[in-house]
Amino acid sequence: IDGILVQLPLPQQIDEQTILLALDPAKDVDGLHPMNVGNLALGRHSLKPCTPSGVVEMLRRENIPMKGSHAVVIGRSNLVGKPLAFLLLQEHATVTICHSRTQNLPRVAAQADILVAAIGKPAMVTAEFVKPGAVVIDVGINKIEGDLLPEFLERDPSLRSQYEKNRAENKNHVLCGDVNFASVSELASAITPVPRGVGPLTIAMLMKNTVQAARVRRA
């Protein structure tokens, strides 16, 4: 075995940290073992969390400058927010982390050159969070269904085409990010969609980590 992935969140009766500590850090291909997290914080070589790595890789491949840019990350989870902040710091960005207790959140977010939404609240980030020309990366993915559908279709008209396609396939739901795509896309210089935005890069980084772990094991 070259890589082990713990699919979070775990059932309530299973302690997450106990499971993560049981992993061999060299096979922890999602970079969640405390040793890998510590190495990330110290800027040392380690297996890095896949979604944050995918975000940075996307910025790099699109030639979006991180050095000297102000990056605002909305969300402080151990999976995305915190490790992404460390990775952006390694790219010499100035990083602000926001969360549910941040005061005047729209005003803070609107200072960002690079805005990352990873808070798990559908369509929460609207135009007032974004300064013109900012790069917006939507990490969130939320399933909207049932009685909530009419409200979100009205709030974000960009969801309507997905809704019509899903309805033709007898699926009564849409997938929505943390960003109101319709309003924010009018201001942003670049924005990721949901779905088929950050997700494919997360998978690519998982494969990269697995190959790296395999090479280390065979060395």
149: in domain: no
48: in domain: yes
What confidence score (pLDDT) does residue 152 get? 94
What confidence score (pLDDT) does residue 15 get? 96
Which pLDDT tens digits describe the chain residue by residue (219 residues)?
Answer: 999 999 988 999 999 999 999 999 999 999 999 999 999 999 999 999 999 999 999 999 999 999 999 999 999 999 999 999 999 999 999 999 999 999 999 999 999 999 999 999 999 999 999 999 999 999 999 999 989 999 999 999 999 999 999 999 999 999 999 999 999 999 999 999 999 999 999 999 999 999 999 999 898
90-108 burial: b if 16+ Cβ within 10 Å, else e: ebebbbbbbeeebeebeeb
What confidence score (pLDDT) does residue 201 get? 97
What confidence score (pLDDT) does residue 219 get? 82
The CATH number given to whatever domain includes residue 45 is 3.40.50.720
What confidence score (pLDDT) does residue 182 get? 96
Phi and psi at 121, nearest 5°, equal -125, 115
Tell me the C-alpha distance between 214 and 114, whole Å. Answer: 34
Tell me the C-alpha distance between 82 and 75, whole Å. Answer: 8
155: in domain: no
166: in domain: no
Q: What's the domain count of the chain?
A: 1
What confidence score (pLDDT) does residue 73 get? 99
Task: Kindly report the pTM of this predicted structure.
Answer: 0.93
Phi and psi at 14, nearest 5°, equal -105, 125
Domain extent, residue 98, equals 16-141+177-218
67: in domain: yes
